[in-house]
Structure 1
Amino acid sequence: MGKLDGRVAIVTGSSSGIGQAIAERLATEGAKIVIDYVGPSQGAEDTLKAVINAGSEGLVIEADISKVPETQALVEQAWQHFGSADILVNNAGMERKSAFWQTSEQDYDQVLAVNLKGPFFLTQAFVQRLRSAKKPGRVVNISSVHEDMAFPGFATYCASKGGLRMLMRDLAVELGPEGITVNNVAPGAIATPINKGLLADRPKLDALLQKIPLGRLGTAQDVAALVAFLTSDEAAYINGATLTIDGGLSRNYHEQ
């Protein structure tokens, strides 16, 4: 038996990278998976195959979490198809690099919409259905070490992740009495497709690795294992916490 048998998990941005790994790992633990994506569907179909190969069931839904009606439809379709949804992993995220004094309103709006507004209103829709069904649930936000650490050139990203940290803390208090726990997972440097430029730049990569006490980048599977724990009964008393997963980077990091 898996730790998540009988559970249904919505995982946003699960067509690639960390989200894909989370979907596969939760499926391995027995959860049925709602695979959310935007854009080309191939990655989401690959995730679905991985979920099925893990012995579980999946449902692929295209939903842009920055649009509130689409977040509501995502939850509604999950309940219609599986009869429930009691785990939400707010994984979808984005970043835009620019000097603070050159950051455009469009970039600000886009980053904050995906990284903060999306989790806010998707969690709201998720919680509304749980409350009406009088069911407990788990919310895990994939945040970043930059919910706490400065990241020059990425002010919008830092603002969104700092906001996500405070949102998590507030909801942990507000939703705890409803039997719903809310926690953040804060990855550091993870080897994913979004970091292919870094992975190809050996001098830059080596400089980063020197700052990570464990001497390696994290993997998507490292993050997925932590999410699997947080959504299991073993983590039933963890609420309102950020769990950092960065190989010790944030304890040993200095901006150049």
Structure 2
Amino acid sequence: MEITFTGKRALVTGAGKGIGRATALALARGGAEVTAVTRTQADLETLVRECPSVKPVCVDLADWDATERALKDVGPIDLLVNNAGCAMLQPFLEITQDSFDKSFDVNVKAALHVTQIVARGMKARGSGGSIVNISSQASHRAFKDHAVYCATKGALDMLTKVMALELAPYQIRVNSVNPTVVMTDMAKIGWSDPAKANTMISRIPMGKFAEVEDVVHAILFLLSDKSAMTNGAFLPIDGGFLAC
């Protein structure tokens, strides 16, 4: 099954590293005009060196007004990937107001706001579009020290459903992918302890973590016309973890 994005304009948040960066590069290779959004200028600079056709936008999406200013002239967008996110892990009794607010600002509010900006343009043009939110298996399962993270991803999943319901009349589809641990450079550090890793892997029927490409391929499918009747869906990329 060949998927191409020639003539499409895509926006990817959290595009400086990991899944977001790989998605931005894959979309560009597939023919899309890509706008890459992240808060770290150095990451954008290396991304543009790797793929000069990418349009960089540096902004902290937790800042509502700054996001509005940064994206108001971004131009028409056909495809959106809400990938920006953070994980601030704390035992439940030690959760702080700051970590709670920051997590919801980035993981939920930013996805809502960026989608509002992009979807208004999609609606006005009448050409439809496709939006993919990057959620997690943590929206469906409880994990120690993940109370706030789990709550944000649960909220994002429900936001995905409501977006799908309200935007579908304009032929705008909204779906999410829900990965297990994905072996980004950061995750390789966090899960390098075999004892910790094996505890999680033992709960995954396929006996391994996901690779970045596993998630990117799912995102590309949901963005493409190959999934034209898929709307409001959660796609686990978890080797069967949620099936247990």
**Partner of 1:58 in structure 2?**
54
> What is the CA distance between 1:15 and its match in structure 2?
0.6
Residues 23 and 33 in structure 1, CA contact (< 8 A), matched pair in contact too: yes
Aligned residue type for 2:73: Q
Could you say if the C-alpha distance between residues 210 and 60 of structure 1 is closer, same or farther in structure 2, counting changes exceeding 3 Å?
Answer: same
**Partner of 1:85 in structure 2?**
77
Residues 28 and 51 in structure 1, CA contact (< 8 A), matched pair in contact too: no
Aligned residue type for 2:9: V
> What is the CA distance between 1:90 and its match in structure 2?
0.3
> What is the CA distance between 1:190 and its match in structure 2?
0.7
Percentage identity across aligned positions?
Answer: 33
Could you say if the C-alpha distance between residues 47 and 2 of structure 1 is closer, same or farther in structure 2, counting changes exceeding 3 Å?
Answer: farther
The 2-side partners of 1:2 and 1:143 are apart by: 23
Aligned partner of 1:120 among 104, 112, 121: 112
The 2-side partners of 1:235 and 1:75 are apart by: 27
The 1-side partners of 2:4 and 2:103 are apart by: 34
Residues 92 and 115 in structure 1, CA contact (< 8 A), matched pair in contact too: yes
With structure 1 as the length reference, what TM-score do the two structures score?
0.89
With structure 2 as the length reference, what TM-score do the two structures score?
0.94
**Partner of 2:22 in structure 1?**
21
Deviation string, structure 1 residues 137-187 (Cα, Å, up to 9, x no partner): 111000001111112211111111111111111111100001100001111
**Partner of 2:138 in structure 1?**
146
The 1-side partners of 2:47 and 2:216 are apart by: 14
SS, match of residue 176 in structure 1: helix
**C-alpha RMSD of the superposition:** 1.6
SS, match of residue 214 in structure 1: coil
Aligned residue type for 2:88: R
> What is the CA distance between 1:207 and its match in structure 2?
2.9
How many corresponding residue pairs? 243
Aligned residue type for 2:227: A
Aligned residue type for 2:30: E
Residues 15 and 83 in structure 2, CA contact (< 8 A), matched pair in contact too: yes
**Partner of 1:243 in structure 2?**
235
Aligned partner of 2:210 among 197, 211, 218: 218
Residues 23 and 47 in structure 1, CA contact (< 8 A), matched pair in contact too: no
> What is the CA distance between 1:2 and its match in structure 2?
5.6
**Partner of 2:195 in structure 1?**
203
Residues 87 and 149 in structure 2, CA contact (< 8 A), matched pair in contact too: yes
Residues 68 and 122 in structure 1, CA contact (< 8 A), matched pair in contact too: no
Greater Cα shift, 214-223 or 174-183: 214-223
Residues 2 and 30 in structure 1, CA contact (< 8 A), matched pair in contact too: no
Q: Which runs of 5+ in 1 are unaligned?
A: none
**Partner of 1:8 in structure 2?**
9
